[in-house]
Amino acid sequence: MSNSTVGGGADPGETLAEAAARELREEAGLAIEAAALGEPVWQRVTEFGFDGIRYRQDEDYFVLRTPAFAVTLGGLDQVEQDTVDGYRWWRAAELESSGEEFHPPELPRLLRELT
């Protein structure tokens, strides 16, 4: 099993914050204004395979502190529905001790640095 953050690609004409806000609404059911995200806190370039295709992707990560909310997966497209088993909120220490694979692998360290 692999764990990852909410995210996806930017549509033509979207800023990165607008894309992140849209993905958060689609993949978790939380509607926010893009301005609430501010600027990315971390960036990376990664390569991975999915469904028999190799991808090279630039990724930008945002932080949003929010009160607890009920996650809904109703905005997922069919491919996402086929690959998402569920969701969970993790603390940095839980990520570090879980033994599970995360994308990005630096996520526990990033969370510690940002809190």
- What is the pTM assigned to this prediction? 0.86
Instruction: Tell me the pLDDT tens digit for each residue of 10-47.
Output: 999 999 999 999 999 999 999 999 999 999 999 999 99
Confidence class for position 1, pLDDT limits 50, 70, 90: low
In 3D space, the residue among 43, 51, 35 whose CA is nearest the CA of residue 7 turns out to be: 43
Residue 85 dihedral angles phi and psi, to the nearest 5°:
-90, -20
Q: Is 15 exposed, middle or buried (0-12, 13-18, 19+ CB in 10 A)?
A: exposed
Q: Is 56 exposed, middle or buried (0-12, 13-18, 19+ CB in 10 A)?
A: exposed
Contact in structure between 59 and 48 (CB atoms under 8 Å): no
